[in-house]
Chain A
Amino acid sequence: MGAEEQNIKEFKLKPMKCELNFLSKSDGSAILSQGETVALASVNGPLDVKMQSQSIEKSTLEVLFCSKGGKPSVGDRYKENIIRQTCETAILSSLYPRTAITITIQELEDYGGFLSCCLNTACLALVNSGVAMRHVFAAVSCALDDRGNILLEPTQQQLETARATMNFVFDSRQKSLVTSFTEGAFSEDTYKEALARCRSASDLVFSFYRDIVTKYSKVIG
């Protein structure tokens, strides 16, 4: 327990590993592992789209989520919605009117914090695809254990015993909150404290993004 409290103070996140351009055929793709949780995202677009779903002033964003079993469920639709709304705020869709941008996310391993991993992977894939964006975003999750401690980036076991789980997404400009997705019961003060901790932890995700882009921009002359 002592070690874990130490981690929270230093805002240590699970080790992140990433490969961009993982898929050769899609316009942009990224595979990201956060600890043992792994997600793969691919971005295609701006593409042609049929009349009824195209918008004359902005590009339509479509998010497809494939779980490991392959069977679509209501929970997956819900995740798609969260990811879509988060990405819509980030993408400058008015630059690509009458087109569609498709994001496909494949679950590979889920050992806790999967939604935030999906969001981070989607962001990296969008960065790789070269779609114009207003800002990048970073998702950080945390859990509230039964003693009221806030655990950043909880593991599977911690999630099973947790009273509440919270996911926050921040933009890179002012670190303002883009998406907040919570489950369970907690007080307002706890929410504020969790928000503040996740906001400071999002710096680590942003610097990770910068490292990845630095690594890839060296080879692209």
Chain B
Amino acid sequence: MSNRNFESDLRAQLDSLNKEKLPERDLWAGIEIALAEEAAPNQQAQKRRTNSTAPKVVAMAASFALVAVISWFSLNPSTQQMTQQDLVSALSSQHQMQKNALLVKFQDQPALTENWQKQLAELDEAAEAIKAALKHDENNMALLKMLQNVHQQQIDLIERVHSPKWRQI
């Protein structure tokens, strides 16, 4: 039989298909149980929007503060010797604020790994060691960058272990 007959026969069968079917068992009971503890859809959507924008706002504020601090010190070289430790303190306190904001934000959200706080503490120790080294070598830019890097690793760690997308397949 011809190809044209097949195409028209197929089209006719497709057009006559009944697209709706009903399941043989009641599915609603299971759905109702699964949704028993779920918040209202609008609340969930609102929370998702907040979750997706809050880290960006915190990151932007942190970046702005960092740029402002560095600019201030680079525009005032006369104060450099006296203020390198101030720069380290400013970076540390600004990082602490950012870290605290994230920890508060995620406090009710389960983490994906159990040892993330241990990792966070290890990074804290690393930051303290770098700060101690900076006290003895105040103009060492490599150490300053290492400190920034450790701070960023802490932020990334907190976000990563609380990020919903890691729970999706």
Genuine A/B complex: no
> Which residue numbers of A lie inside 8 Å of B, CB to CB?
none
